[in-house]
Amino acid sequence: MLQINELLELLKQAPDEVFIQPHNVPDPDAIASSFGLQVLLGELGLESVIVYEQDLEKANSLRMLESFDISMRPAGEVETLGAEDWTVLVDVQKENANLTDLVTDEVACIDHHNDNGFDEYRFKDVRPEYGSCSAIIAEYWNEAGLVPPTNVATALLYGIRSDTDGLSRGVHLRDIESYFQLYGHADMSKITELDNNSIHISVLKNYSKAFDTVEVYGQTGFLSLESNDDSLLGSASDILLSVENVDIVIAYAIRDSGLKYSIRSIDRSVSAADLVRHLVKGYGVGGGHDTMAGGFISAEKFPDDRSYGTFSRFRAIEFIEKDITSGRR
Ligand SMILES: [Mn+2]
């Protein structure tokens, strides 16, 4: 059976409401894929509500909601959320660090991150080779034989573009095929508008301080950011990665709660996900893709004999050097 039909048949059996939940602090791909799925299920006669945890931080994420008329509700404000409700996880998997486990039953999962091994769903569609979750949802529209309305097509296209950094990072042919198809139905003026409103002025000041902390050793760049904004940390690491000769980035933010990592690698012999797992090993959690990954060590678990900066540099260089000497390249 086609994936979309299988999912639809399953969700029709829900004892109560159906929710769609993306990862915490949803980014454009998470928002677009949740929205694209919600509208598709609606066209097929099934109502659902998108719920999320923690704030939308980036200006372009917030603007997406306005621009495409997307309704997403903070989980804490949904009074009807209960154990009888079913949830479809989108752009995330159960037991991941960036997902708050709500009271609902997570019966389905659609994601493009590496499979974390959790298998207790009734429907699972995890495609780690894809650069975006939006491309998977675009294929569901095709499977259903439906053309997404302009706002959905535009949002999905924006999601693909955003997660693949303009069809360059971790991109799969299927992302490009979906992008090409969606392009015919999308409103590109909205994309331009989002591009031109992607950051708040306060962010620029934070960037400025963060770039003052940059240190580069060989092909590896380090950066420290003073902000609680996860997406800002990711964007700052993207910018550092764009620096000439920098192929690996370890960006970290020091917070009261602990140490947050954003990792980038365009060196094929150094997986960002493996690197972050090495950084947090024994103390915290981390994971992601070969090209981009994230991690966290809580303040209580952090070994207090070293500063965050020294700890991060030591562990990162240890991993990258070992990789060289083990003959992986
Ligand atoms: Mn994604």
- Written as one string, the DSSP assignment of 105-135 is EEEEEEE-SPP-S----SEEEE-TT-S-HHH
Same domain, 157 and 272: no
> Ligand 1: distance of its center to the CA of 27 in Å?
8
> Ligand 1: distance of its center to the CA of 307 in Å?
32
All residues with CB under 5 Å from ion ligand 1: 29, 91, 133, 163
91/267 Cα distance (integer angstroms): 25
Same domain, 207 and 183: no
Same domain, 139 and 223: no
Question: What are the structure tokens assigned to 132, written together?
Answer: 């975006």
- CA-CA distances (angstroms) from residue 74 to 56, 77, 131, 248? 10, 6, 26, 35
Query: What is the CA 57 to chain-centroid distance, rounded?
Result: 13
> Ligand 1: distance of its center to the CA of 90 in Å?
9
Domain count for the chain, please give it: 2
Task: Answer whether 40's CB lies under 8 Å from 146's CB.
Answer: yes
- Structure pTM? 0.79
> Ligand 1: distance of its center to the CA of 73 in Å?
19
Residue 227's domain comprises 202-325
Phi, psi at 275, each rounded to 5°? -60, -45
CB-count exposure of residue 85 (10 Å: 0-12, 13-18, 19+): buried
> Ligand 1: distance of its center to the CA of 291 in Å?
13
Residue 55's pLDDT is 76
78/106 Cα distance (integer angstroms): 16
Phi, psi at 230, each rounded to 5°? -65, -40
Among 149, 169, 195, residue at a domain's last position: 195
Same domain, 191 and 214: no
- CA-CA distances (angstroms) from residue 22 to 237, 269, 281, 328? 23, 30, 26, 35
> Ligand 1: distance of its center to the CA of 77 in Å?
25
Q: Which amino acid is at 289?
A: H
Same domain, 170 and 22: yes
> Ligand 1: distance of its center to the CA of 111 in Å?
7
Radius of gyration of the chain from its Cα atoms, rounded to whole angstroms: 20
Question: What are the structure tokens assigned to 2, written together?
Answer: 């086609």
Q: What is the dihedral of CA 247, 299, 76, 194, to 10 degrees?
A: -20
> Ligand 1: distance of its center to the CA of 49 in Å?
19
Residue 323's pLDDT is 63
Among 195, 210, 233, residue at a domain's last position: 195
Same domain, 172 and 209: no
Question: What are the structure tokens assigned to 273, written together?
Answer: 């996900």
> Ligand 1: distance of its center to the CA of 113 in Å?
7
> Ligand 1: distance of its center to the CA of 222 in Å?
24
Same domain, 156 and 20: yes
Same domain, 40 and 93: yes
> Ligand 1: distance of its center to the CA of 23 in Å?
9
Q: Is 310 helix (H, G, I), strand (E, B) or coil?
A: helix
> Ligand 1: distance of its center to the CA of 163 in Å?
6
Number of C-beta neighbours around residue 139 at 10 A: 20
Same domain, 100 and 167: yes
Same domain, 285 and 232: yes
Strand 72-74 versus strand 49-52 pairing type: parallel
Among 163, 180, 195, residue at a domain's last position: 195
* pLDDT per residue as tens, the chain (329 positions): 899 999 999 999 999 999 999 999 899 999 999 999 999 999 999 999 999 998 776 778 889 999 999 999 999 999 999 999 999 999 999 998 889 999 999 999 999 999 999 999 999 999 999 999 999 999 999 999 999 999 999 999 999 999 998 999 889 999 999 999 999 999 999 999 998 887 778 888 999 999 999 999 999 999 999 877 777 898 899 999 999 999 999 999 988 889 999 999 999 999 999 999 999 999 999 988 899 999 999 999 998 778 899 999 999 999 998 865 555 44
> Ligand 1: distance of its center to the CA of 12 in Å?
26
Number of C-beta neighbours around residue 240 at 10 A: 22
Give me the CATH number covering residue 106: 3.90.1640.10
> Ligand 1: distance of its center to the CA of 207 in Å?
23
Same domain, 138 and 216: no
Same domain, 158 and 261: no
> Ligand 1: distance of its center to the CA of 32 in Å?
9
How does pLDDT run across 194-239, given as a tens digit for each residue?
Answer: 988 877 788 889 999 999 999 999 999 999 998 777 778 988 999 9
Give me the CATH number covering residue 270: 3.10.310.40
329/323 Cα distance (integer angstroms): 8
Residue 255's pLDDT is 87
68/143 Cα distance (integer angstroms): 23
